[in-house]
Amino acid sequence: MKRIHTVVKGKVQGVFYREFVRREAEGLGVSGYVRNLKDGTVEIVAEGEEKQLREFERKFRKGPLMSFVSEVEMKEEQATGEFEGFDIRFS
């Protein structure tokens, strides 16, 4: 298991980006959460197998139709197994 901690920049709030990320994560069997940050970015913390996370990254870098991802800051962390599914969190 791996864990990624990501901050996504661009037009990613108010365009159903979090819901898109949640659906894609659930479809791939990835656990974790997504939430809007006050600076207009979106945070994604996700755990899964490397292959699942690579496909998940490919999808969230594209985003839904009305979004525009300009930059992705991502780091790998130690997986904790703390998540049971994938949630939208509210700050």
Q: Which of 3, 18, 23, 89 is catalytic?
A: 18
* DSSP reduced 3-state for 56: helix
36 catalytic per annotation: yes
- The pairing of beta strand 68-77 with beta strand 2-11: antiparallel
Q: Which of 22, 23, 35, 36 is catalytic?
A: 36
- Asked if residues 79 and 1 have their Cβ atoms less than 8 Å apart, the reply is yes
54 catalytic per annotation: no
Catalytic residues: 18, 36
